[in-house]
Amino acid sequence: MLELKSVSYEVFDEGKNIDIVNNIDLEVPDGEFLVITGPNGGGKSTLVKLIMGLIKPTSGTILFNGQNITNLSVTDRAHLGIGYAFQHPARFKGLTVHKLLSIAHGGDLPEDECCAYLTRVGLCSKDYLHREIDSSLSGGEIKRIEIATLMARELKLAIYDEPEAGIDLWSFSMLVEGFKDIRKGKKETVIIISHQERIMRIADRIAVVSAGRLSDDGPVNEIFPKLIDKLGNACDFRQKPEEQ
C-alpha cells in the first residue's frame, strides 16, 4: 500500500511561494490500477515525481508498505520495487536497448526475453536490440522502450507519466492491451497519468488532480461520466443544443 499524508510541494518564484502540490492525501492499495488525470499544469507529474523521489516534498509524509520513504533516495525506492516511466525519456549515446533492458532487469537479459518485452510495446523488430538509445530513435520509439524498461523489472509499484504521449494509434492499441494484461495479473500496483479514455476505462479508480489538489477521486464508473460531462460543457461551442 502507498500512502501520501498531507503531501505538499512548494516552489519560490517571483518573490512568493507557489503550491504545485497542496496538501494531498492519497491511499493506493496493493494491486490497484489508478489513473491520475486532470488539466495540464495541475500538478500530476509533480505528484508522481514525489512518489519516486525525483523531488522531495516540502511537507508531508510518504509511506510504502508501512515504511516511511519520504527521505529515501531514488535508488533506495527502486530497490523497494518502485518503477517510473518518464514522460520525456533520456537519450544515451552508446547505450543499446538490450543493455538498458538488462540494467532494468538487474542482470543480463536473454535476447528472446528482450524481444518479448519490445513486442509488448509494439516494437517487433529484433533490430532494436542493438540500436543505441540516441537521437536516431523517434519520440514514439523512445517512449515505447521506456515503457519496456518497467516491464523488464519485478515491480511492486509501477508509475507511468503519460505513456500514450507521442505514440501512434497502432502502437497505442498494443499499449492498452499491455496495460489490460497487467491489470488482469494484479501483481503490481499501477499509477498512470493519462488523458486517454481507453486507458481510463481499464482503471479501477480515477483521481483528478487540478490546481495542486485532489479535486475528485473514486471508482472509474463514478468519475468517468462526470469528466465527460465537464468536458462537454467546457466551451460555448460544445454546449448541448437544447441549452443554446
Q: Which CB sits closer to other proteins, 42 or 83?
A: 83
Among candidates 93, 98, 165, 104, which has minimal Cα distance to 125?
98
Q: Which three cell numbers stand for residue 7?
A: 503531501
Of 26, 104, 206, 214, which lies in the binding site for other proteins, with binding defined by CB under 8 A?
A: 104
Among candidates 137, 132, 135, 128, which has minimal Cα distance to 94?
132
User: Phi/psi of residue 205, each to 5°?
Assistant: -150, 150
CB of 60 to other proteins, least distance (A): 21
Stretch in the footprint of other proteins (CB under 8 A) among 29-37, 79-87, 187-195, 216-224: 79-87
Of 79, 126, 187, 230, which lies in the binding site for other proteins, with binding defined by CB under 8 A?
A: 79
User: How far apart, in Å, are the Cα atoms of 31 and each of 157, 200, 220?
Assistant: 8, 16, 15
Question: Quick count: other Cβ atoms within 10 Å of Cβ 149?
Answer: 22
Q: Which three cell numbers stand for residue 232?
A: 462537454
- The DSSP letter of residue 126 is G
CB of 146 to other proteins, least distance (A): 8
Of 13, 15, 66, 90, which lies in the binding site for other proteins, with binding defined by CB under 8 A?
A: 90
Of 30, 56, 59, 88, which lies in the binding site for other proteins, with binding defined by CB under 8 A?
A: 88
Please state, in angstroms and rounded to a whole number, the distance separating the CA atoms of residues 204 and 183: 9
Of 10, 31, 54, 216, which lies in the binding site for other proteins, with binding defined by CB under 8 A?
A: 54
Please state, in angstroms and rounded to a whole number, the distance separating the CA atoms of residues 33 and 185: 11
Question: Quick count: other Cβ atoms within 10 Å of Cβ 237?
Answer: 6
- The 153-192 contact track toward other proteins, x by CB under 8 A, reads x---------------------------------------
Is residue 78 close enough to count as binding other proteins by CB under 8 A?
A: yes
Is residue 107 close enough to count as binding other proteins by CB under 8 A?
A: no
Q: Which three cell numbers stand for residue 79?
A: 530497490
CB of 28 to other proteins, least distance (A): 18
Please name the amino acid found at residue 185: G
CB of 96 to other proteins, least distance (A): 8
Note the residues at the interface with other proteins (CB under 8 A).
52, 54, 73-75, 78-79, 83-84, 86, 88-96, 99, 103-104, 106, 149, 153
